[in-house]
Amino acid sequence: MSQVFKRSIELLRVFYVATLRADVSVASYSEEDGKIWVNALAFQQSQSYDHTAGAMAPGAIKRACLYWTQRIAMELAKLDNREGREAQPTGLYDKETKQRFDTFLRTTAKSGGF
């Protein structure tokens, strides 16, 4: 998150609960603590990570990162609006965010992944 969105990783919190509604169960901004909560179970259910091998599944890094980047971008826009900054969810539609995302993927691939 810090590389792609230029935001502090401290904004994120992780929870683990069944995904009943993907739009709220995957990532959600909390007015109570001002954090963005992401659901680790949704990540597991995407079968991006092979827990038996302790590594990302082949070809899954880009797919998982695309998905999570878009979900977190939607919640960041909510956070910005609540803090008085006019914002629309941009995610990978924003040119600079997309460039940082591509750089992140290339760097991750060169370093051997997650």
With H, G, I as helix, E, B as strand and everything else as coil, classify residue 14: strand
Full residue range of the structural domain in which residue 25 is found:
2-110
Residue 97 belongs to what H/E stretch?
helix 95-110
Residue-wise pLDDT tens digits, 38-64: 888 877 777 777 778 877 777 787 888
Whether the Cβ atoms of residue 57 and residue 64 lie closer than 8 Å to each other: no
Residue-wise pLDDT tens digits, 71-85: 888 888 888 888 888
Angstrom CA distances, 21 to 12, 17, 27, 43, 67, stand at: 20, 11, 11, 14, 15
- Total domains in the chain come to 1
> b or e along 83-114 (b: 16 or more beta carbons within 10 Å of the residue's beta carbon)?
eeeeeebbbbeeeebeebbeebeeebeeeeee
Q: What is the share, in percent, of the chain residues with pLDDT greater than 70? A: 89
Locate tokens 């880009």: which residue? 62
| pTM attached to this predicted model | 0.74
Whether the Cβ atoms of residue 92 and residue 102 lie closer than 8 Å to each other: no
